């Protein structure tokens, strides 16, 4: 019994300390340098895509807005809460979480530090079952990934229809990390647009169950290539670099994701863009200007945050025109790519 009581006393003391820390860290005092902490997802900063872009956005804010910025990489999901808490408890003005899987952690920590601003790419502050808590101090930075997916999907479909695939098999593939909305948005747009351009096309969709280990995406891509896929779209961050290389080894084409990945492998003919850097920068700027607002901010073709870039390939002019035409239609709202993967 004595031990139990001591335990409760200890807990109370910890709670007091946390409360004190919260009180001491209220942001927004004038003439103070804004401090921003970025917590990456497990893909790590060297994923050449998602986390790398968040870092680029932070660097730009440091250069342009004169803020102080720091980064912690999460090696696994257990580190989200401690990493976020680390920044929040040290008086950072804005704590950025990068990634869908970090939502419950953001929900927990943002609830504990109501005076700290939070922003999360690809999600919101949620409870453990990913239900949005609608916290006023959390900014949700969401993308319409299906738009970018559709643009590279249309490119693959057009090339297949014109007989310009490596062996013209009418089979293409997408290697996702984990089956979560931001990944599936991309794949949904890809499949939808490819089938629109080439109705005979078959789209293989696989998952590596991982965002960091290239070995796993490489083996999923090899399986798809073995089943005649000749365009591989990677949607798996650092893991997906293995898919791009598998495509290169097999002499088929690939599409990069999030960032321009033309340097990741010669097989990359184009990349589907998701300008996480723009989202991160926009969010930091809102704090600097004192205009931070909780809730959803959507990034899409409308605000030039999605799109595609051409890489190691000489794309025929008519294909490019078709893809750009599709982008214009999506931007104008006359065509809407689906958010869920079509059957």
Q: Residue 176 CB, nearest distance to another protein (Å)? A: 9
- Looking at residue 45, the DSSP 8-state letter turns out to be G
Contacting another protein within 167-196 (CB under 8 A): 173, 175, 179
Looking at 28-36, 128-136, 245-253, 279-287, which segment touches another protein (CB under 8 A)? 245-253
Q: Please name which of 318, 214, 198, 339 lies closest in space to residue 265, comparing C-alpha atoms.
A: 214
Interface with another protein by CB under 8 A: which range of 77-85, 144-152, 241-249, 291-299? 241-249
Q: Is 128 within 8 Å of 106 (Cβ atoms)?
A: no
Residue 3 sits at φ, ψ, to 5 deg, of -65, -40
The single residue among 123, 248, 256, 307 that binds another protein, judged by CB under 8 A, is 248
Cα-Cα-Cα-Cα dihedral sign, residues 81, 82, 83, 85: positive
Nearer to another protein, 162 or 249 (CB): 249
Minimum distance of another protein from residue 95's CB (angstroms): 17
Which lies closer to another protein via its Cβ, residue 37 or residue 294? 37
Q: Among 75, 131, 251, 329, which residue sits at the site for another protein (rule: CB under 8 A)? A: 75
Q: Which of 79, 132, 213, 322 binds another protein (CB under 8 A)?
A: 213
Shortest distance in whole angstroms from residue 329 CB to another protein: 29
Chain-centre distance of CA 334, in angstroms?
26
Q: Establish how many alpha carbons lie within 13 A of residue 280's alpha carbon, considering only the half-sphere containing its beta carbon.
A: 29
The verdict on 209 binding another protein (CB under 8 A) reads yes
99 contributes a contact to another protein by CB under 8 A: no
Binding to another protein by residue 337, rule CB under 8 A? no
H/E stretch holding 272: strand 268-274
Q: Does 303 bind another protein (CB under 8 A)?
A: no
Number of residues that bind another protein (CB under 8 A): 39
Q: Alpha helix (H) ranges present in the chain?
A: 2-24, 50-65, 80-89, 103-112, 145-161, 181-197, 214-226, 237-249, 276-288, 317-332
Selected from 241, 278, 323, 326, the binder of another protein by CB under 8 A is: 241
Token couple for 286:
């809102």
φ, ψ of residue 25 in degrees (nearest 5): -115, 30
46 contacts another protein (rule: CB under 8 A)? yes
Count of alpha carbons within 13 Å of 285, Cβ hemisphere only?
11
**Closer Cβ to another protein, 276 or 323, answer by number:** 276
How many other CB atoms sit within 10 Å of the CB of residue 19?
A: 11
Binding site for another protein (CB under 8 A): 44-46, 48, 52, 55, 71, 73, 75, 173, 175, 179, 204-207, 209, 212-216, 218-220, 222-224, 226-227, 238, 241-242, 245, 248-249, 264-266
């Amino acid at each position: 019994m004595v031990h139990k009581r001591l335990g409760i006393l200890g807990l109370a003391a910890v709670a007091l300390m946390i409360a004190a820390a919260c009180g001491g860290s209220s942001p927004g005092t004038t003439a103070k340098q804004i401090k921003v902490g970025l917590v990456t997802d497990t893909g790590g900063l060297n994923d050449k895509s998602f986390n790398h872009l968040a870092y680029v956005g932070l660097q730009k804010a440091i250069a342009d807005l004169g803020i102080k910025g720091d980064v912690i990489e999460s090696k696994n999901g257990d580190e989200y809460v401690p990493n976020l808490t680390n920044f929040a408890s040290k008086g950072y003005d804005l704590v950025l979480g990068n990634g869908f899987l970090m939502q419950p952690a953001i929900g927990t920590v943002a609830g504990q530090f109501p005076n700290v601003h939070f922003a999360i790419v690809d999600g919101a502050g949620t409870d453990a079952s990913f239900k949005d808590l609608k916290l006023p101090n959390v900014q949700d930075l969401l993308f319409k990934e299906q738009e970018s997916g559709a643009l590279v999907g249309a490119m693959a479909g057009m090339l297949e229809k014109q007989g310009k695939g490596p062996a013209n098999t009418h089979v293409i593939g997408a290697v996702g990390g984990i089956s979560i909305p931001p990944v599936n948005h991309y794949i949904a747009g890809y499949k939808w647009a490819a089938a629109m351009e080439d109705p005979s096309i078959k789209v293989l969709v696989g998952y590596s169950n991982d965002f960091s280990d290239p070995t796993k995406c490489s083996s999923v891509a090899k399986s798809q290539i073995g089943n005649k896929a000749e365009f591989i779209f990677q949607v798996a961050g650092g893991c997906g670099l293995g898919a791009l290389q598998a495509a290169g080894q097999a002499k088929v084409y690939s599409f990069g994701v999030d960032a321009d990945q033309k340097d990741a492998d010669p097989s990359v003919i184009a990349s589907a863009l998701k300008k996480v850097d723009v989202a991160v920068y926009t969010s930091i700027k809102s704090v600097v200007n004192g205009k931070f607002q909780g809730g959803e901010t959507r990034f899409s073709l409308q605000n030039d945050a999605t799109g595609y870039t051409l890489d190691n390939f000489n794309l025929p002019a008519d294909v490019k025109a078709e893809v750009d035409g599709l982008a214009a239609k999506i931007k104008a709202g006359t065509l809407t790519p689906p958010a869920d993967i079509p059957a």
